[in-house]
Every structure is written in C-alpha cells, then in structure tokens.
C-alpha cells in the first residue's frame, strides 16, 4: 500500500512537470494528497483490522473526502480530486491501468461525468476538440484548467452521459453553453464558420478595447498572483481590473506581514508600469475562507462575516494591507486603484474610503456585489471614487442561489434581466455622478454580454485574459448607440435566454 501511494504520488508529480503552469500546481496538490502520512496511517490501521488493501485505500480516502465536503466551498470542490488519487492507488494495487481518458486516433469531443485534474492537465490538445462534463460548476478544477488552456468546454450538463452513444456527432458551443446532438449539416457548417472566426480573432492585432465608433472600453485582466501579469500583458491587457489578493494567502495560518504584502503588490504594480491596477482588499469568507480572518462557525457563510465585514471586524489586518498597498504605490509607477468587496451601503463605502485616504491611497472604490448597493447607487457613487461590479456574487445574491451549488446553477446567469437592471441602476448612477463603473465578474468575458454591459453604462471590462480576443472583436462590431439598443432590448425580457435572444436580434 505504501509503495502504491508513493508510486502514484511520483506519477502525478511527473505528469505535472510535463503539463507545466497551472496544471502543475493542481497535480502537485494531488501528489501531496497521496503523500499525506495521516492518510497512509489510516489505511494501515484499516489493513491491520483485517480490511484488504484496496478496500482500505477506498475507505480511508472516502472518509477524508467527507471531511473536505463538510468544509464546503473551495475545499469541497477539491474533494473530487481525491477520488482520482484513490482510484489510481487502487489500480496500482490491482495491477491494472490507471483510469483515465480513453485513447483515440481520431479527434473527438470528450463527454465525461467529470475529469480528474490529472486527465484535464494532460489532455491531448491536438485530438480533444471540446470537453463536456456532467458534474462540476464554473469554479471546478475542470473549468479552471480548461479555461487556462483555452479548451472549448461546457460543464454541468446533466444527463448527457446516458444519452449520447459513442460516435454521435455533436456540436459544442461554449459561448452559449449549448450542446447540440445529431446536428444538421447546416448547424455543423455554422459551427465551422464560428470556429474559424474565433481562430481569426485570436490572431487579430492586440488593439485597445473600443467600439466601432471609437468609444474606448479598456480591457483589463483578472489576476490572482504577480506571476499572472506576464500572460495578461502578452494577450493585450490594458491594466488590471481585479487583483484578487486573497488568492495569495489561501493557505496562510496567520495574517501576512506588511513587508511580505508590500513585496507582492510591488511586483504586480511594476509589471503594469504606466497602467491602471485595481486591487481588491482581502475577500475572505464563504468559498474563500482565510484562517486568520474567518474563525467563527457560520450557518450561512455567504451571508455572514465576509469581505469588508470580516475586514472591519479585524481592522488591523485591513490597515496593514492598505499600508502595504500605499508603500507599493509609492515605490512604483502604475496607477493604483483600491476597492473593497461586498460593500452593502453608503456607510460602509464611507468607512472604507476614509480609511484608504488616511493611509495614503489616492483612488478608493467599492465593489458592487450585494444588490442593496445598486438600489442605493446614487449614495454609494457620492462616496466612492469608482465602482466595480462583481457579477458573480451580484447574481448569487440577487437570486439567493449559492453560486457553488449545482442544483441551483440555473439561477447563476448574469444575462437575467434582474441582474441587468441592477447593472443599469449602477451604470446610470455612474454616468450621473461622472464616476467610472466597471465590471470584473465572469459576465465581462461573455462577448455578447460585454456589449450589453457597455450599453448599460459600464465603462471598462475586466476578465480572465483568455477572453480578451473574443470580447475585443465583438466590441468592434457595434457603436455605442447599437450597444444601448441591445441593452434596452435585453432589459425588457423576462428570462436570461430571452435577454440573450433579444440582444442578438436588436
Ligand atoms: C464577483 O463576485 O463577481 C467577483 C469578481 O468576485 P469573486 O468572483 O472573486 O467573488
Ligand atoms: Mg465576489
């Protein structure tokens, strides 16, 4: 058993080294699971009690998995990674091949219940035309890795596995999240045209984001670590629209020092010299708990002490972060903007802006993720220098539907007019007050929706850099007036799908 665990750990690390990048981190994490001494001891104890090796491995991993699921959020999504490690160890013990993607000489669309990180990371990109999974949400590893490798993928399509025999002709449209079985020749041709257009877009020059009439719409990057800057700049980032600083400290047991934070922020700002960098202060809680900020047991963590609320309850941590940001700003030549997550009203905005100014920051704003802030848009706009809309959380809170939960995933659609109307309230208030309103949620990465957002009054778009080419091309197709007409049509729909259709038709 110990030999099998060691073998699998080494194999996962090897695959990681071959894959490189983000995949390597994921596979290293899986390898570490296989090396966990507590887990090996648990298996040994079970064997000692008379269970056979395969069963003992299975049961020990299951117990570990139950623990992770109970933690919820990010940790729960890692739980499925354990299944893959466990199955590999069992396969090794049985002397059979490790489970994984079947071999094929022909290019194929892969339909699976879910993919283990090891499978996604080492997919043969020459042969894999697209991925469709039944499980997993937008934040599962499959989705994260597919996005980082620009693989066409649709996740969370329930029931497909049973319905599609091997060899079926399938069209996967990741842009609209639609999978067509047995498409007509016309549908196939339309998909081919679309695929060609995408390929051309990827090769188009890296111009600044703008509409057909020249209206500027800066394309900014969502980043989590200073190292992300290289790829973002390569793909034409005009700056950073969301630096998720909590990603730097997910494993930290104690609050990071001012010096170590200053170092990370300085590196990010240096990479974007002369450009705008919007940094979000720690967004701790719910799916991203930070040990040093969230210690209370909460029944509903998404509705609890998260974001600015958690920071306010531990104000010294917030002060340290703002101090580090001001120091990094003084040492570099980027244009630093700082914003707080989960701001719900004017009072919180005033609190954060005052603290930011006290510590020497020049541009201080609020994220719009809680619906109340849209209702109070004029008041918040009066207090903040800018607003950035986080459509992921704004959608979750508008519909009271957990963004991590597959069973309510159909609510997590920012095309819904309920969300669009809130965006319009914020856009209108921004224009009225003469203050910038950006979007930094996943909605900005959907090209057709990006156009609608601009039509609703949004002045910049921040997204994962892989989406720049598509969004850039789509913006160039419309004037501001046309974007506004599309937005107006979408607002009148009563469903998300209706809004998509209405915008396309307008
Ligand atoms: C959002 O909620 O839209 C957002 C950008 O923040 P995060 O996804 O990190 O919660
Ligand atoms: Mg958010």
Q: How many domains does the chain have?
A: 3
- Nearest ligand 1 atom to alpha carbon 441: 3
Same domain, 113 and 242: no
- Whether residues 219 and 112 fall in one domain: no
- Asked whether residue 342 falls in the same domain as residue 375, the answer is yes
Q: Are residues 436 and 324 located together in one domain of the fold? A: yes
- Tell me, yes or no, whether 86 and 157 share the same domain: no
Alpha-carbon distance of 240 to 242, in angstroms, equals 6
- Domain of 65 in residue numbering reads as 2-94
Within 8 A by CB and 6+ apart from 400, the residues are none
145 and 290 assigned to the same domain:
no
> Residue-wise pLDDT tens for the chain (506 aa)?
999 999 999 989 988 888 777 778 888 988 999 999 999 999 999 999 999 999 999 999 999 888 888 887 777 777 878 888 999 999 999 988 777 777 677 889 999 887 776 777 777 777 888 999 887 666 566 776 777 677 888 887 877 877 888 889 999 988 778 899 999 999 999 999 988 988 888 888 999 999 999 999 999 999 989 999 999 999 999 999 999 999 888 888 899 999 999 999 999 999 999 999 999 999 998 878 888 998 778 888 899 999 999 999 999 999 999 999 999 999 999 999 999 999 999 999 999 999 999 999 999 999 999 999 999 999 999 999 999 999 999 999 999 998 877 678 788 889 999 999 999 999 999 999 999 999 998 899 999 999 999 999 999 999 989 889 999 999 999 999 999 999 999 999 999 999 999 999 99
Are residue 384 and residue 443 in the same domain, yes or no? Answer: yes
| Among 284, 254, 280, residue whose Cα is nearest residue 268 | 280
- Note whether residue 19 is domain-resident: yes
Q: What is the CATH number of the domain that holds 214?
A: 3.20.20.60
DSSP-based three-state secondary structure for 87 = helix
C-beta of 241 in contact with ligand 1 (< 6 A): no
| Nearest-angstrom CA–CA distance, 299 and 276 | 38
Pocket of ligand 1 contains residue 395 by CB under 6 Å: no
Are 220 and 366 members of one domain?
A: yes
Same domain, 255 and 375: yes
**Cβ(393) to ligand 1 under 6 A?**
yes
Tell me the CA–centroid distance for residue 197 and ligand 2, in Å. Answer: 32
Distance CA 341, CA 243 (A): 12
Q: Are residues 73 and 113 in the same domain?
A: no
Instruction: Report how far residue 137's alpha carbon sits from residue 93's, in angstroms, rounded to the nearest whole number.
Output: 32
Whether residue 343 lies inside any domain: the answer is: yes
* CA gap 465, 445 in Å, rounded: 9
Burial degree of 55 (CB within 10 A; 0-12, 13-18, 19+): middle
The pLDDT assigned to 314 comes to: 95
441 lines ligand 1 (CB under 6 A): yes
Q: Would you say 491 and 247 are in contact if contact means Cβ atoms under 8 Å apart?
A: no
Whether 100 is in a domain gets the answer: no
Q: Which pLDDT score, from 0 to 100, does residue 21 have?
A: 78
Q: How far apart are CA 52 and CA 49, in angstroms?
A: 9
Q: Which residues contact 88 (CB under 8 A, 6 or more apart)?
A: 8, 11, 12, 34, 98, 99, 118
Query: Among residues 165, 149, 90, which one has the least CA distance to residue 115?
Result: 149
Q: Among the three residues 161, 180, 202, which one is the final residue of a domain in this structure?
A: 202
479 falls within a domain: yes
Residue 102 belongs to some domain of the structure: no
Angle between helices 2-19 and 21-35 (to 10 degrees): 170
How many CB atoms are closer than 10 A to CB 36?
15
Residue nearest to atom 3 of ligand 1 (CA): 390
Helices 53-71, 37-48: axis angle to 10 degrees equals: 130
Residue at 290 is within a domain: yes
Q: How far is the CA of 364 from the centre of ligand 1 (A)?
A: 18
Q: Which of 72, 94, 116 marks a domain boundary? A: 94
Specify the ligand 1 atom closest to the Cα of 443: 3
* All residues at 6 or more sequence positions from 465 whose CB lies less than 8 Å from its CB, including other chains: 221, 222, 231, 232, 234, 235, 236, 237
CATH number for the domain including 53? 1.10.274.10
SS3 497: helix
Expressed in angstroms and rounded, the spacing between residue 394 Cα and the centre of ligand 2 is 8
- Range list of H helices, 248-314: 258-271, 308-313
Residue 62 CB-half CA count within 13 A: 8
Q: Is 440 in the pocket of ligand 1 (CB under 6 A)?
A: yes
In-domain check, residue 308: yes
The pLDDT score that the predictor gives to residue 416 is 96
Cβ proximity of 238 and 220 under 8 Å: yes
**Position in ligand 1 atom list of the atom nearest CA 246:** 9
**Co-location of 357 and 384 in the same domain:** yes
Tell me the backbone φ, ψ of residue 17, rounded to 5 degrees: -60, -40
Closest of 156, 168, 151 to residue 113, by C-alpha: 156
Evaluate whether 152 touches 172 at the Cβ level (below 8 Å): yes
Strand pairing of 239-244 and 276-280? parallel
Please report, for the chain, how many H helices and E strands are present, in that order. 22, 13
Q: How far does residue 369's CA lie from ligand 2's centre (Å)?
A: 6
Q: What is the pTM of this model?
A: 0.78
- Residue 144: the pLDDT is 67
- Bridge partner list, 181: 170
Residue 63 lies in a domain: yes
Nearest to 373 by CA among 405, 325, 340: 340
- Final residue before a domain boundary, out of 54, 69, 94: 94
**Residue 62: in which H helix or E strand, if any?**
helix 53-71
* Residue 384, phi then psi, degrees to nearest 5: -100, 155
Residues 257 and 398 reside in one and the same domain: yes
- The conformation of residue 209, written as its DSSP 8-state character, comes to P
CA of 97 to the centre of ligand 2 (A): 41
Question: What is the structure's pLDDT at 454?
Answer: 98
Q: Does 286 contact ligand 1 (Cβ within 6 A)?
A: no
Q: What pLDDT is recorded for position 170?
A: 94
Mutational pocket test of ligand 1: of 341, 414, 443, the residue with most ligand atoms within 8 Å of the beta carbon: 341
Which residues are known to be catalytic?
A: 141, 440
H or E element that contains 460: strand 460-463
244 in ligand 1 pocket by Cβ < 6 Å?
A: yes
Q: For residue 112, what is the domain's CATH number?
A: 3.50.30.10
User: Given the CA of residue 396, which atom of ligand 1 is nearest to it?
Assistant: 2
441: which DSSP letter?
Answer: S
The Cα-based distances of 268 to 83, 225, 237, 265 in angstroms read: 36, 8, 13, 5
Q: For residue 161, is it left (φ>0), alpha (ψ between -120 and 50) or beta? A: alpha
Given this model, what pLDDT does residue 79 score?
81
pLDDT of residue 141: 64
């Amino acid at each position: 058993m110990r030999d099998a665990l060691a073998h699998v750990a080494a194999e996962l690390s090897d695959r990681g080294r071959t894959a490189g990048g983000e995949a390597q981190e994921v596979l290293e994490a899986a390898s570490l699971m296989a090396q966990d001494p507590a887990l090996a001891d648990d298996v040994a104890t079970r064997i000692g009690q008379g269970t056979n090796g395969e069963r003992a491995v299975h049961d020990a991993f299951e117990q570990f998995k139950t623990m992770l699921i109970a933690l919820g959020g990010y940790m729960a999504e890692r739980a499925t990674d354990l299944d893959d490690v466990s199955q590999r160890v069992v396969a090794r013990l049985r002397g059979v091949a490790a489970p994984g993607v079947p071999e094929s000489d022909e290019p194929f669309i892969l339909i699976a219940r879910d993919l283990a990180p090891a499978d996604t990371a080492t997919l043969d990109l020459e042969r894999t035309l697209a991925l469709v999974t039944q499980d997993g949400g937008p934040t599962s590893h499959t989705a994260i890795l597919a996005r980082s490798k620009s693989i066409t993928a649709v996740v969370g399509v329930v029931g497909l596995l049973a319905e599609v025999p091997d060899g079926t002709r399938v069209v996967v449209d990741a842009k609209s999240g639609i999978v067509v079985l047995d498409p007509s020749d016309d549908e196939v041709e339309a998909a081919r045209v679309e695929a060609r257009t995408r390929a051309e877009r990827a090769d188009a020059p890296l111009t600044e984001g703008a509409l057909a009439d020249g209206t500027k719409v800066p394309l900014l990057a969502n980043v989590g670590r200073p190292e992300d800057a290289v790829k973002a700049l390569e793909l034409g980032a005009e700056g950073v629209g969301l630096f998720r600083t909590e990603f730097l400290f997910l494993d930290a047991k104690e609050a990071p020092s001012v010096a170590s934070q200053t170092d990370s922020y300085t590196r990010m700002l240096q990479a974007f010299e002369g450009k705008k960098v919007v940094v979000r202060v720690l967004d701790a809680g719910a799916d991203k708990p930070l040990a040093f900020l969230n210690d209370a047991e909460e029944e509903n963590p998404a509705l609890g002490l998260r974001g600015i609320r958690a920071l306010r309850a531990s104000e010294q941590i917030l002060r340290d972060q703002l101090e580090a940001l001001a120091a990094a700003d003084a040492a570099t030549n980027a244009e630093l903007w700082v914003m707080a997550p989960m701001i719900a009203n004017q009072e919180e905005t005033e609190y954060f802006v005052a603290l930011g100014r006290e510590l020497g920051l020049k541009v201080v704003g609020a994220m719009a993720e809680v619906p109340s802030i849209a209702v109070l848009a004029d008041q918040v706009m009066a207090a903040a220098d800018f607003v950035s809309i986080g459509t992921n959380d704004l959608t979750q809170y508008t519909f009271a539907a957990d963004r991590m939960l597959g069973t309510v995933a159909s609510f997590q659609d920012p095309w819904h007019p309920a969300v669009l109307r809130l965006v319009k309230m914020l856009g209108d208030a921004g224009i009225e007050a003469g203050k910038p309103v950006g979007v930094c949620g996943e909605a900005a990465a959907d090209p057709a929706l990006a156009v609608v957002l601009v039509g609703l009054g949004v002045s910049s778009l921040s997204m994962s850099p892989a989406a720049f080419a598509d969004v850039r091309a789509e913006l160039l197709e419309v004037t501001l007036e046309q974007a506004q007409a599309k937005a107006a049509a979408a607002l009148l729909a009563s469903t998300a799908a209706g809004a998509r259709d209405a915008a396309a038709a307008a």
